[in-house]
Amino acid sequence: MTPTASSLDRLARAAFAVLVCAIALVSVALAVVQAAEVARPRGEAVVARAEVSTPRAADLVTARKTVTRESAPVAITNLDASYERMTALNSIIAGTAMTVEVNVTNTGLLSWPAGGEQAVHLSYHWFDAQGNTVMWDGARAVLQHDVAPGDMATLVVDLRAPATHGSYVLAWDMVKEGSGWFSASAAPMKTERLVVDQGVTTDDLRAVARQAAVSAGLDPVIFDRQIEAESGFDPQAQSPAGAVGIAQITPATARTWGVDPSDPVASLQAAAQQMAGYVDRYGNYAMALAAYNAGPRAVERFGGVPPYAETQNYVRKILSGAP
């Protein structure tokens, strides 16, 4: 049977009604969901937000390490060292040690720890004129505190010379204990050419004396004059009273100081430390020099420079610079 026009019209109206009902049902469902969201307790919302947590501290550390490994090594461990000394260190005596102050700046991105299993220290290497390694892993210089990026630290280095004279290259290098040398991560070492002398010259010993004075906090000019008055910078000097060596130390005093008076470098360093102690104790160089010459008991007995001709001339000559 062929549908009539009226039948088609009724079918169309029924389909439209069904569509309208479906739309109405969807609207009702959305309204119910929205009402449920509004009615949900606040505590549930807080819990939902807490599920998206901020990174933990451990995650941040891991992330930093990952970035560090992927960064250029020079940006992490680059070493910037400058040297401030009262006298130029152009030479050093073979087989001896010298105290050197080195300023080191942390130009990296991470702090240098002063302690712990991976503490950062300053050390050095010696190379000969042909570039061969003569000494690797010199004496360590310890940081007094952690050094943050951009900060500078002054380190006191016990620099020990090779045993054989010749021309050498001294290379300063930072080391992270248990991890490796900074130079191994492409951080350039700071190098300088030095002559290691076979013999001891007066100029060498004057340089050692001035450096010992600076390290002890003394006036290097006064200490230089003092050693000149004591021995004329002669390591073999002996006095009628039994004092020996460049700093004229008696055997009893040498035992007290724990120093070998025949070693000119050790004697100069010990004498500078002793003089620094006297200056701190008495507050001026005149009494400190008198204590070195006549002994601290004589200074304390007379309340100043003792009335001994030898001691008074000794103090006057050194402080006035008289020959």
Residue type at position 256: T
Q: pLDDT band at residue 196, thresholds of 50, 70 and 90?
A: confident
pLDDT(181) > 50: yes
Q: pLDDT band at residue 101, thresholds of 50, 70 and 90?
A: confident
Mean pLDDT for the chain?
Answer: 78
Q: Which of 11-20, 29-38, 107-116, 266-275 is predicted least confidently?
A: 29-38
pLDDT(228) > 70: yes
pLDDT(312) > 90: yes
Is residue 147 within 8 Å of 120, Cβ to Cβ? yes
Is residue 157 within 8 Å of 137, Cβ to Cβ? no
User: What are the chain's domains?
Assistant: 76-197 (2.60.40.10), 202-320 (1.10.530.10)
Q: What is the pLDDT of residues 152-180, one digit of tens each?
A: 998 888 888 898 889 999 999 999 999 99
Q: pLDDT band at residue 34, thresholds of 50, 70 and 90?
A: low
CA 116 – CA 114 distance, rounded (Å): 7
pLDDT(88) > 70: no
List CB contacts of 93: < 8 A, sequence separation 6 or more.
Answer: 161, 196, 197, 199, 200, 204, 208, 265
Q: How far does CA 123 lie from the centroid of its chain?
A: 10
Hey, what are 186's tokens? 């492409």
Q: What is the pLDDT of residues 248-305, one digit of tens each?
A: 999 999 999 999 998 888 999 999 999 999 999 999 999 999 999 999 999 999 999 9
Output the pTM of the full model.
0.44
Query: What residues are annotated to the active site?
Result: 230
| Sign of the dihedral through C-alpha 143, 145, 148, 152 | negative
